Amino acid sequence: MVGVSPATVSRALAGTGLVAEPTLSRIRETAAALDYRPNVSARNLRTQRSMAILLVVRDAGNPFYLEVFKGVEAAAREAGYSVLMGNTEDDPVRETEYFAMLGDGHADGMILMTGKLPAPNDTRATGDEPVVVALEMVEGSGYPHVVIDNHAAALSAVNHLIELGHQNIAHITGPLPEPMSQRRMEGYRTAMKLAGLAIREGFEQRGDYLLESGVQCCRALLALPVLPTAIFCANDEMAFGVIGELNRQGVSVPDDVSVVGFDDLFLSAAFQPPLTTVSQPRADIGRQAMTILLSRLSGAAVPDEPVVVATQLKVRGTTAPPKSLTTQHQGRHQ
């Protein structure tokens, strides 16, 4: 040592302000010189905290989660936490595993972005763990939620199409038992109903958020007796599938058919034409979730109502008035 007790060193380096000036700087200097850093495991054992949080997502390969991660990571860093990323691949076993990591000291808290809890039979989830759910809904769980208003967002997207003059508007849903897909579909239905528009047979196609299902649903739509002039997709990825298929079939976007997505993925604006879509403030969502988790960890109160963050409809190049309208319009003027 430098002639001082370990306790004093600990206090000095922790910045408790309980160490007098001559010693303080001397300790700091020699710590820097020796490149000394307190051992994390020992500290964790002593303090009973790991200063790490777990971000559990459905599919780590989906860029969607990246921006959320960035928000989480930024807020975590500021508070001295590291972020462990967990990937469930929609596997309940994995979910249980990650949940268990809360109990064994791996992490102090968790941000859940999967819609499920571990199987109820062997669940460790009593509802009072330091868990925050982001974007998904774990019904009746008692955890704080950070959400977007999927219903309102879908409604505004469809309204945009209606305002452009579309009447035959189709919808490609997400996987359907899920609340998120359900809400978006209900938003679509509400918008149609409020506008007095009928949803024709086959205009609701069931997708699964993946590109290929966009392609399939688009084919089904094109086989219908009455074709839609606009398609609202429950996410961007399926919208890309739809647009690709439309192009292959010689249908022009947005001249023949308008397409709206949901998510505003990385590069969705760079698409040709740029995709009209609902943008979610993903980094904000991550940051909010982390902030709530931090309050929870510090023993403060957490909101018992879901925190709703605002979405924004980005009107870009894949939506236009329907052809019938533009034709009529041109007709009148010529």
Partner DNA sequence: TTGTATGCGTTATCAA
Partner DNA sequence: TTGATAACGCATACAA
What's the CA gap between 287 and 279, in Å, rounded? 16
Region near a copy of itself per CB under 8 A, out of 20-28, 54-62, 178-186, 307-315:
54-62
Region near a copy of itself per CB under 8 A, out of 2-10, 20-28, 67-75, 225-233:
67-75
Among 211, 302, 307, 315, binds a copy of itself (CB under 8 A): 211
CB of 85 within 8 A of CB of 69?
A: yes
Site size for a copy of itself (CB under 8 A) = 47
Shortest gap between Cβ of 47 and DNA (angstroms)? 5
Work out whether 20 is an interface residue with DNA (CB under 7 A). Answer: yes
Residues 6+ apart with CB under 8 A from 33: none
Q: String of b and e for 185-205 (b: at least 16 CB within 10 Å)?
A: bebbbbbbeeeebeebeebbb
Q: String of b and e for 78-109 (b: at least 16 CB within 10 Å)?
A: eeebebbebbbeeeeebbbebbebbeeebbbb
Work out whether 105 is an interface residue with a copy of itself (CB under 8 A). Answer: yes
Q: Which residues between 37 and 56 bind DNA (CB under 7 A)?
A: 37-39, 42-43, 45-48
Work out whether 298 is an interface residue with DNA (CB under 7 A). Answer: no
Work out whether 34 is an interface residue with a copy of itself (CB under 8 A). Answer: no
Among 56, 73, 143, 228, binds a copy of itself (CB under 8 A): 73
Burial of 247 by CB count in 10 Å (0-12 exposed, 13-18 middle, 19+ buried)? exposed
C-alpha angle 168-316-277 in degrees, rounded to nearest 5: 65
What's the CA gap between 193 and 315, in Å, rounded? 22
CB of 46 within 8 A of CB of 259?
A: no
Which residues are at the interface with a copy of itself (CB under 8 A)?
35, 37-42, 44-45, 48, 50, 52, 60-63, 66-67, 69-70, 73, 82-85, 87, 100-101, 103-106, 124, 211, 237, 240-241, 243-244, 247, 265-267, 270-272, 274
The residues that touch DNA, with contacts defined as CB under 7 A, are 3-8, 10-11, 13-14, 18-20, 22-24, 36-39, 42-43, 45-48
